[in-house]
Structure 1
Amino acid sequence: MKKNVSILICFIISFMFSVSGNCQNQQKSKPNIIFIMADDLGWTDLSSSNTSLDNGSKYYESPNIDELAKQGKSFTYAYTQQNCQPTRAALHSGQYATGPQNGVYNVGSLKRASKGDTTPIIPHTQNNYLKEECVSMFETLKTVGYHTAWFGKFHAIKLGEQAKSYLGVDYNLALHKETKATVNGVNVKNEFFAQNDDANGWTFEIEELKPYAQPYNATYIKNVLEPMKNGNDPWLLEGTPKHLTDALGDAVVDYIKDRSQEKEPFFAYIPFHAVHVSILPRPDLEAKYKAKTSQDPRHTDAEYAAFVELLDQTVGRILNALEDPNGDGNTQDGIAENTLVVFYSDNGGFMGPTDNTPLRLRKGTYYEGGVRVPLIFRYPGVITPNTVNTTQEVHTIDFYPTLADIAGVKLPDPQMHEIDGKSVAPVLREETEALNDKKELYWHFPGYMDVRNMPQSVIHYRHTNNQHYKLFYRYEDDSYELYNLSKDIGEKTNLLEGKPSRGTLNLAKKMNSKLQKWLIQRNAPTGTWAKNGEKVPYPQKKGIKKYK
Structure 2
Amino acid sequence: MKISRPKLARLLLPATLIFISTISTIYAQKKPNIIVFLVDDMGWQDTSLPFWTQKTPLNERYHTPNMERLAKDGVKFTNAYATPVCTPSRVSMLTGMNAAHHKVTNWTSPQYNVSSDNDDEQFAAASWNYTGLSPKPGIPNAIYATPYPQLLKDAGYFTIHVGKAHWASVGTPGANPYNLGFMVNIAGHAAGHPQSYFSEDYYGNKPGKNTMQSVPDLEEYYGKGTFLTEALTQEALKTLDGPIKNKQPFYLNLAHYAVHDPIQADPRFYQKYIDKGLDPQEAKYATLLEGMDKSLGDVMDYLKAKQVAQNTIIIFMSDNGGLSLAPPRGGSAHTQNLPLKAGKGSVNEGGIREPMIVKWPGVVKPGTTANQYVIIEDFFPTILEMAGIKNYKTIQELDGKSMLPILKQVNYTDNERALIWHTPNKWISKDGPGINYKSAIRKGDWKLIYHMRDGIKDLYNLKTDIGELQNKAAENPEKVKELSALLSAQLRKWDAPMPIVKSTGKPVVLPDQTGI
Question: TM-score over 0.5 for the alignment?
Answer: yes
Instruction: Name the CA distance, whole Å, in 2 between partners of 1:440 and 1:28.
Output: 37
RMSD between aligned residues: 3.1
1:480 equivalent to 2:457? Answer: yes
Task: Give the letter for the 1:449 counterpart.
Answer: W
Contact 2:274 2:280 in 1 (8 A): no
Instruction: Name the CA distance, whole Å, in 2 between partners of 1:528 and 1:366.
Output: 20
1:53-452 correspondence to structure 2 within 5 Å = 54-55=55-56, 57-100=59-102, 103-108=104-109, 109=115, 111-113=117-119, 117-133=120-136, 134-159=145-170, 162-173=175-186, 174-175=188-189, 176=191, 190-195=196-201, 205=214, 208-213=217-222, 215=224, 241-293=225-277, 301-325=282-306, 334-351=307-324, 352=326, 353=329, 355-390=336-371, 392-410=372-390, 412-413=392-393, 416-430=395-409, 433-435=412-414, 439-450=417-428, 451-452=431-432
Q: What SS class does the counterpart of residue 459 from structure 2 fall into?
A: strand
Instruction: Name the CA distance, whole Å, in 2 between partners of 1:471 and 1:53.
Output: 25
Instruction: Name the CA distance, whole Å, in 2 between partners of 1:21 and 1:78.
Output: 40
Task: Give the letter for the 2:309 counterpart.
Answer: A
Q: Closer, same or farther in 2 for the Cα pair 1:198/1:128, shift >3 Å? A: closer
1:470 equivalent to 2:447? Answer: yes
Contact 1:163 1:169 in 2 (8 A): no
Please name the residue that 2:16 is paired with. Answer: none
Q: Closer, same or farther in 2 for the Cα pair 1:340/1:87, shift >3 Å? A: same
For structure 1, which segment, 402-411 or 480-489, has the greater mean C-alpha deviation from structure 2 after superposition? 402-411
Contact 1:123 1:448 in 2 (8 A): no
TM-score (norm 1): 0.77
Deviation string 1:125-157 (CA, Å, 9 cap, x unpaired) is 432320233210111111211111110011112
Shift of 1:89: 1.3
Q: Closer, same or farther in 2 for the Cα pair 1:31/1:53, shift >3 Å? A: farther
For structure 1, which segment, 60-69 or 164-173, has the greater mean C-alpha deviation from structure 2 after superposition? 164-173
Contact 1:60 1:299 in 2 (8 A): no
Identity %: 30
Contact 1:119 1:530 in 2 (8 A): yes
TM-score (norm 2): 0.82
Contact 1:348 1:373 in 2 (8 A): yes
Alignment match of 1:515 (pick from 487, 492, 497): 487
Task: Give the letter for the 2:356 counterpart.
Answer: L
Shift of 1:284: 2.8
Q: Closer, same or farther in 2 for the Cα pair 1:520/1:205, shift >3 Å? A: closer
Contact 2:197 2:229 in 1 (8 A): no
Instruction: Name the CA distance, whole Å, in 1 between partners of 2:467 and 2:25.
Output: 46
Deviation string 1:428-482 (CA, Å, 9 cap, x unpaired) is 011861347x6211011222223142323211111xxxxx111011222221100
Q: What SS class does the counterpart of residue 511 from structure 2 fall into?
A: coil
Aligned residues: 462
Q: What SS class does the counterpart of residue 159 from structure 2 fall into?
A: strand
Instruction: Name the CA distance, whole Å, in 2 between partners of 1:52 and 1:306.
Output: 26
Shift of 1:286: 0.3
Q: What SS class does the counterpart of residue 450 from structure 2 fall into?
A: strand
Deviation string 1:499-531 (CA, Å, 9 cap, x unpaired) is x1xxx2222222111111101111112132211
Deviation string 1:303-347 (CA, Å, 9 cap, x unpaired) is 11122111111111111111113xxxxxxxx10000000111111
For structure 1, which segment, 513-522 or 25-34, has the greater mean C-alpha deviation from structure 2 after superposition? 25-34
Q: Closer, same or farther in 2 for the Cα pair 1:447/1:302, shift >3 Å? A: closer
Shift of 1:247: 0.3
Contact 1:88 1:156 in 2 (8 A): yes
